[in-house]
Amino acid sequence: MMNEHADKQISLGWVIAVIILGTGLMSGLQLANAGGELSGVKASAGNEEGEGTTRARLPLADDAQGEGQWPAKVAAVAYIDLHDELSARLLADLRALQAELGDDLFVVTKHFPRSHDRASQKAALAAIAAASLGAGPKFTAHLQRHRATLSHADLSALADEIGLDGDKLKALMKAEETTKMLAAHQAEAKALGLERRPSLFVNGVPVHQVVSREALKTLILRERTVIEALGSDLKAAHQKLLARAGEPVKTIEAGVKEIKEPPREGSLPPTIAPEDFSWGDPNAPVQIVEFADYQCPYCSKTAEMLAKIKKTYKPEEVYIVFKNLPLTYIHPSAPMAARAAIAAGRQGKFWEFHNLLFQRQSELKTLGKDALWPWIRELKLDERKFIEDMTSRATRAQVDADAAEARRIGIYTTPNFFINGRHRPGLSMQVVQRMVEQARKSK
């Protein structure tokens, strides 16, 4: 194992690891039935173990607009940004599941564009305008197919492409009703304490991380079972469920395990290979394994937290192992970045290059491989050796082996962690702190 702290190779059979997202798990949320107006909104965070996750109160009006029939057994309310790749993937998964589950699933899209992204703001207005013309889902899907060019796209021309009146849509985008609707969507998201795009609620159960379609389907099936147990009158059943808002519910990970998780080839924990890069003592009481993608925006946030952990704790207290899981279908430069980090690691600079890749993601996205050369010189690497290692079969095989290991244990998204035997989709400083403190007390 490539451990830059110990500066030697260490072989370890099984190590595991990590974490959690403590982002806005809600308690006691109250939304009005119509108009997007909020009343009595109060949010409280669940604990970092996910045990405090509560069902949000998100009632839908009788005339709620969405994909499918309302009332349905399950309502999925997604807060998205049309300029965002992960939002596009979530909506694609929800639509596929809606087509599969039919009238049992009702999908509602709420627009939550980033305030600094003018193209995203305009796209949201266009989608709301298209909805008033009866083509909201169709136009939203069309916009997401063109998200890479949204910053300079002609939205009225895109409307014409799917049979809408582009001029009429352009006029509706400026209408007071449209701007008020977008403001209402954004106000709801803020009242819920949302920061991530996308964020999803399934019958009020919050999902604030990226999950596979299979895991999402499992949660939806669980919620369908819950609503069926409350009676055949769907309106009355949802009212009963709303009355339970604020009660603890299991996180999506718990739900996946409760209702027959999709079969996994092999089992946890992940195997640590001799060539994996690591930091710390493999005998440390807190052992973390991360699967990440160098173009994943959420992975850049967890990279900051891992750097903080390395500064805060001693190597004999925390052991960190990094594994590559490039999501090539949405991040075309990720495999190249993974090979570059390994090449830097062969010269003893893995973590330094690793940090640069996350800190300068925008350069990587814009310049691709050309972004690497200034970093190579900055770290004073041997360029010839770097190129040889980056393009070698052994390096490609190492990246492929990490991805294969992820698939073996059922990991398909990033970031994903394992901490001392427990799988977690995110990283929490509080969890690590508590575990280190417990280890100190036990000495």
Q: What is the pLDDT of residues 23-68, one digit of tens each?
A: 322 222 222 222 232 222 233 333 333 334 788 888 787 777 789 9
Determine which helix (DSSP H) or strand (DSSP E) holds 358, and give its type and residue range. helix 350-359
Q: What is the distance between the alpha carbons of residues 231 and 162, in angstroms, rounded to a whole number? A: 41
Q: What is the pLDDT of residues 390-416, one digit of tens each?
A: 999 999 999 999 998 988 887 877 888
279 vs 83, higher pLDDT: 279
pLDDT the model gives residue 106: 96
Percent share of the chain, pLDDT over 90 = 45
Q: What is the mean pLDDT of residues 106-117?
A: 93
Percent share of the chain, pLDDT over 70 = 82
pLDDT the model gives residue 198: 92
Q: What is the distance between the alpha carbons of residues 8 and 335, in angstroms, rounded to a whole number? A: 26
Query: For residue 423, is pLDDT > 70?
Result: yes
Q: What is the distance between the alpha carbons of residues 334 and 38, in angstroms, rounded to a whole number? A: 41
Q: What is the distance between the alpha carbons of residues 37 and 83, in angstroms, rounded to a whole number? A: 26
Token look-up 């509080």 returns 430
Q: What is the distance between the alpha carbons of residues 310 and 304, in angstroms, rounded to a whole number? A: 10
Contact 108, 236 (CB under 8 A): no
Q: Which of 25-39, 79-93, 354-368 has the lowest mean pLDDT?
A: 25-39
Query: For residue 443, is pLDDT > 60?
Result: yes
Position 291 confidence tier, pLDDT thresholds 50, 70, 90:
very high
Domains recognised in the chain with CATH numbers:
2-17+269-442 (3.40.30.10), 74-258 (3.40.30.10)
Q: What is the mean pLDDT of residues 58-82?
A: 89
For residue 379, give both structure tokens. 């770290």
Q: What is the pLDDT of residues 152-187, one digit of tens each?
A: 888 889 989 999 999 999 999 999 999 999 999 999
Query: For residue 85, is pLDDT > 70?
Result: yes
38 vs 252, higher pLDDT: 252
Position 365 confidence tier, pLDDT thresholds 50, 70, 90:
confident
Q: What is the distance between the alpha carbons of residues 371 and 373, in angstroms, rounded to a whole number? A: 6
Query: For residue 329, is pLDDT > 70?
Result: no
315 vs 7, higher pLDDT: 315
pLDDT the model gives residue 367: 85
Q: Per residue in 232-251, is it b (16+ CB within 10 Å) or e — as a string? A: eebeebbeebbeebbeebbb
Query: For residue 362, is pLDDT > 80?
Result: yes
Q: What is the mean pLDDT of residues 256-266?
A: 36
Position 247 confidence tier, pLDDT thresholds 50, 70, 90:
low
Q: What is the mean pLDDT of residues 95-123?
A: 93
Q: What is the mean pLDDT of residues 207-217?
A: 82
- Cβ atoms < 10 Å from Cβ of 209: 24
Contacts 24+ apart (CB under 8 A), 97-102: 97/213, 97/216, 97/217, 97/220, 98/67, 98/68, 100/217, 101/74, 101/220, 101/224, 102/68
| Mean pLDDT score across all residues of the chain | 80
- Please provide the size of the chain in residues: 443
240 vs 200, higher pLDDT: 200
